[in-house]
Structures are given as structure tokens and as C-alpha cells.
Chains A and B, each alone.
Chain A
Amino acid sequence: MIWLGIDTANTPLSVAIVKDGVLMMEENTALAVNHSLSAMPAIENLLNKVGMTPADIDRIAVSEGPGSYTGVRIGVTIAKTLAWTLEKPLVGISSLKVLASNVLFFDGIICPLVDARRGNVYAAGYQFDKSGLVSVFEDGHYSLDELIARLTEQEKPVLFVGKDTALHEQALLEQLGHRATFAPLQFNLPRASSLIHAAEHSAREAEVHTFVPEYRRMAEAETNWLKAQGKEPGRG
């Protein structure tokens, strides 16, 4: 079983090939590369290095968001096009779960976090048990205050993971005190191998044609339009 994993949900880019449960090769970068330009050459390079062709891929895993709208769409578009034309199954995994999968064995709440500007974050709460990562509160677009309120409710130690946690470290420490800990640097980038690991344990195989990113947020125009219609906007 050969997996190709693709994560372009935020600034970092990660692609990996896992063969029969063994990571063959992974490429990670946190440089602000242009995913539209770099993602396909990275995949081509990966396959060349491991001596495989596209037809050798058995399954494709992709980070489905939330994150940068454009970034998520690039990964999802590449993944669904490859899955469709190669006629191979596709599995979408939350981009936050990918980050949480970097720090599986923490005893408490694992809180992956991506900055969403203007005091907002994309975040989720997970807990690790023998079955894997269990959701404590769902992936969402939260204000930092909302997130802190949710974490305070849990009364457990919290491990923040993701490179953007640095932006909010002070506020989180002020509010959560000694319960807040922060993952060291080597765990803070999304890794396509973590993505593939999560995908291998997911029962969710995507319907390729209708597969779309999990934006977790409506487009602004849509929110405004719904408000103008007197309807309550949802969470996209």
C-alpha cells in the first residue's frame, strides 16, 4: 500500500510517500513558498526520488482545511484531480488534526492552532486514547477569547501545537497559567506523514467529485448576503 500525502493548508508545504506503513520520504518547508507553483514540482520530485510513477500510488491523503482558503484549495484540487484520474481512493483529514497527530501521546487536551488574523484562530481540541485522537471540541474559527473559554471549561493541561501558537503564547499563558504548554519547534509544522497516519486510521473515504475544502467559515460575501436576507449566517 503506497500513500501520497499532501498538505498545503497554510504557509508550510508538506508532501510524503508512505509505503506499507513506512515513511519513504517527506519534504517539509515553512518558507512562504507559493503552493500553486511549488506543490506539483514537490510531488514530482518526491516520486522521482523514491523511484515511483503516479500509477504506483494506491491512496491519496490531503489536508482538507481549515486554513488559508487559497492554500487549502490548491492541495484539495491537486489531490482530487489525482484521485479521480488515477482512480484511487481519497481521504481528507482536518489540517488541525494533522498538527495534533504530531504530538499524539500527550495526557490532556491537544490544541492545534492556526492564526486567522484579527484576534481569531482556527483551532480544535483533541484527546489521545488507545483508539487515536478523539475530538473534545470541533475544528472551528474561534476568537481567542472563545477558545480560552472552551479550554478553561476542560480543567486539564493543554498542549498547544502549530507554529502560530507563538503569536498568542503570552495571552494563552496569562489566561491558562501553568496548564498551558507549548510544543517544541520540531512538532510545529504540519507533516504529510502525520496526515497519512491519520488517514490510515480514518474510516472516511471521500466522494472524489464532490470533495471540497472544510473552510469552517463562510465567504464574507455570503455572510453579508445572508444578513441582508434576514437570515442567520452559519459556519460555512
Chain B
Amino acid sequence: MTKDIYIVGIETSCDETAASVVRNGNEIISNVVASQIISQKRFGGVVPEIASRHHVEQITLVIEEALISAGLKPKELDAVAVTEGPGLVGALLIGVNAAKAFAFANGLPIIGVHHIAGHIYANELMQPMAFPLLALIVSGGHTELVLMEEHGSFKLIGETRDDAAGEAYDKVARVLGLPYPGGPQIDRLAAESDGVVDFPRAWLESDSYDFSFSGLKSSVINYKHNLEQRGEKVNPHHVAAGFQVSVVEVLTTKAVKAAREYGVKQVIAAGGVAANSGLRASLEEAFGKEEIPFYVPPIALCTDNAAMIAAAGSAMYVDGVRGTLAMNGKPGMPLDSWK
């Protein structure tokens, strides 16, 4: 019997301080997330300096909690995996420096994980990945289509040219006077809505898998302005439904087109916006018709967490990838293949 591999993952790229222990890359032993949402809600979004201050407060407690609930001592671990980037630089370097100090003190190797690779590998915690694989990553900071031909190989085939999908959700929610974070609020209003405002779809060039959401956001703002100038009331349900259907249709259509072109065996969705019920339903229906297996992790693994970082870190560990104590937070880190 081969020895089990235990990796602790650490994630601080935005406003969640998280640590998790994963066994053999696919089994969560512990998963701890300290959210700053109550604090950040006051500002209507994530303030980087506030995020960094909270990370320092939480970091050792969160790692300790992950080890205690896993019932493991530091020396029983095989490696430390940490989000190296992309993300808020001040936030990233709390996780990176804690991970380096922890690894050094306990004689463990350190592995720097790309946040998006983490989101993709959240799926490995649910079912084995099958290649070629198409991943749609949608979150507050990312909107990307990534093709994987094998473990550790990433090809970016499409990305947002302006706002990330989740960013557009938050901005539109603010226009509608909804509390932060806006995504779940819009999703709820859209689901309850009995009407839809028709907003444009940003398809860009016909051969492009890129996205753009800033035009849609402006359309929503203009629509509200025009109505208000005429002294009419805005129906937030109808606006939310119209916005959501535009976002979902573009994401789904481009994902289906890419899946066909690359002949993928599996499609996965990941990131905070993958928790959106409208998007899930649309992708499930579309890939059902295509007869391509489609998976989306449970909500707790869609939003930022450290189990996904440990999962990706495990695959990197097996492939012999190692970082050094000179690792730094990389806010604009590219999604490079490790194979």
C-alpha cells in the first residue's frame, strides 16, 4: 500500500482567510474558512487594507483549527500549499509568509498554487477529472475559459476584457440598492421575477471566447436613469432577471461552443458565481443536451476556500513541483502549466 499524502492548503487572496487539510488530493479532512463579509459589507465591497488587517488577525487560528480538526500534527503533513496569486497583493502575502514560516519551522516543502488552478481542482474533490476538460471560472475577480489536456496543463482560451462576471453582479446590485455581496441578491430577485427587461448580449468577435460585461453594466445604469428621468419606477426584479439572463446566455453559449470545438470529455464550472442558481441550471441544461458530463462543486467549494488550494497543491506535489522561501505574493500571476 502506498503512503497517504496529506497537504495543508492556505488561501488569503481576497477576503476569506482559509486553511484545509486534504488527503491524496481528493479527500477533504478539514476545511476552515473565516469570512470577512460582515466587516467588508460596511464598505460595499472588499477594501484591500481592511482585508489584510483581518488576515493577520485570523491566520494562525485558522491554520491551527484546520490541523486540530484533521487530527494531525504539523510533522505528519507532506507539504504546505498556498495561494501565490493572483489576488490582492497585501492579502496574498499574509498567506504566503505564514505558509513559508510554517513550512520552514516544520521542515516541509512549500508549493505556490495559482488561485484559478485551485478553483478548477475543487472538482477533483468531488469526482476524478477527465481530459480534455473545459473549465468555466466565474467569480468576483475572474471570468475565464480554460482548456486542460492533462493534469497541470492549462490553456487560457477566453477571458474577460473588462469586468469579471461577479464584479458586474456586485456593481449592478449596487445600482439597484441591494446589499453587498450582490450576486446572491440578484440571483434571488431573478428567480422570483415575473418579467424580464431586455438587455444586450456582448458576443464580441464571432471567433472569440473572450467576455465583456462593462457594456451590460452601463446598459443597466442607463435604463435606470431613463426611467427615473421619466418619473417611472424601476422594477428591480425585472432588471435583475434581464441582467442575469444576459450574463448566463453569453457564458453558456461560449462554453458550449468551446466544448464542441475542443471535443472535451468533461466540463466543470468553478468560482463564486458558479454558485449562481440561474447559471447552474442553464449550464446543466445545455451540456445535458450536448451529452457532455458537466459538474459544479457544492457552493462551499465554489467560493474561495483552501481545500481547493490543497487539492491543486497535491497534484503539484505528486508532479514534484516545489517552491522556495523566496516565494512572494503575485497579484497578476499568469495561469502557467506546471507540466
What residues make up the interface of A, taking CB atoms closer than 8 Å to B? 34, 36-41, 43-44, 54-55, 69-70, 73-74, 76-78, 80-82, 84-86, 208-210, 212-213, 215, 219-222, 225
Contacts and interface: CB of A to CB of B under 8 A. Distances in A.
Given A40-B101, A70-B90, A81-B97, 19 more contacts: A38-B326, A39-B97, A44-B104, A44-B325, A69-B90, A73-B53, A80-B56, A80-B59, A81-B98, A81-B102, A82-B101, A84-B63, A85-B102, A85-B105, A209-B60, A209-B64, A210-B57, A215-B53, A221-B49
Q: Which 9 A-B pairs have the closest CB atoms?
A: A81-B101, A221-B47, A40-B325, A37-B328, A219-B49, A36-B93, A84-B60, A40-B100, A54-B105
A69 B101 contact: no
B101 A225 contact: no
B277 interface: no
B56 A213 contact: yes
A38 B327 CA distance: 9
B335 interface: no
Interface in B83-117: 90, 93-94, 96-98, 100-102, 104-106
Contact of A80 (B53, B60, B74): B60
Interface in B52-75: 52-53, 56-57, 59-61, 63-64, 74
A44 B105 CA distance: 10
Nearest to B47: A221
A212 B55 CA distance: 10
Nearest to A43: B104
Of the listed residues A37, A41, A82, the one surrounded by the most CB atoms of chain B closer than 10 A to its CB is A37
A69 to B, nearest CB: 7
Contacts of B324: 41
A45 B56 CA distance: 25
A209 B328 CA distance: 23
Contacts of A70: 52, 90, 93
Given A85-B74, A225-B42, A73 B49 contact: no
A217 to B, nearest CB: 10
Given A36-B93, A69-B49, A77-B94, A85 B328 contact: no
B50 interface: yes
Contacts of A41: 324-326
B109 to A, nearest CB: 14
Interface residues of B, number: 33
A81 B60 contact: yes
A225 to B, nearest CB: 5
Contacts of A40: 97, 100-101, 104, 325-326
B92 to A, nearest CB: 9
A35 B20 CA distance: 26
B9 interface: no
B61 A209 contact: yes
Contacts of B59: 77, 80-81
B57 A69 contact: no
A212 to B, nearest CB: 5
B57 A212 contact: yes
A17 B192 CA distance: 64
B329 interface: yes
A36 B329 contact: yes
Contact of B56 (A76, A82, A86): A76
B205 to A, nearest CB: 39
Given A40-B326, A85-B74, A74 B93 contact: yes
Given A44-B104, A78-B101, A225-B43, A220 B60 contact: no
Given A44-B104, A78-B101, A36 B52 contact: no
B60 A73 contact: no
A114 to B, nearest CB: 18
Contacts of B56: 73, 76-77, 80, 212-213
Contacts of A80: 56, 59-60
Contacts of A81: 59-60, 63, 97-98, 101-102, 105
Contacts of A85: 60, 74, 101-102, 105-106
A46 to B, nearest CB: 12
Given A73-B52, A78-B100, A84 B64 contact: yes
B95 to A, nearest CB: 9
A55 B106 CA distance: 9
Contacts of B96: 36
B94 A37 contact: no
Nearest to A80: B60
B69 to A, nearest CB: 16
Contacts of A213: 56
B259 to A, nearest CB: 39
A225 B41 CA distance: 11
B328 A34 contact: yes
A221 B101 contact: no
B104 A54 contact: yes
B93 A219 contact: no
Contacts of A76: 56
Nearest to A220: B49
Nearest to B98: A81
A59 B102 CA distance: 16
A81 B49 CA distance: 20
25 contacts: A36-B96, A37-B326, A40-B97, A40-B101, A40-B326, A41-B325, A55-B105, A70-B90, A73-B53, A73-B93, A74-B93, A77-B94, A77-B101, A80-B59, A81-B59, A81-B60, A81-B63, A82-B104, A85-B60, A209-B61, A210-B57, A212-B57, A213-B56, A221-B43, A221-B47
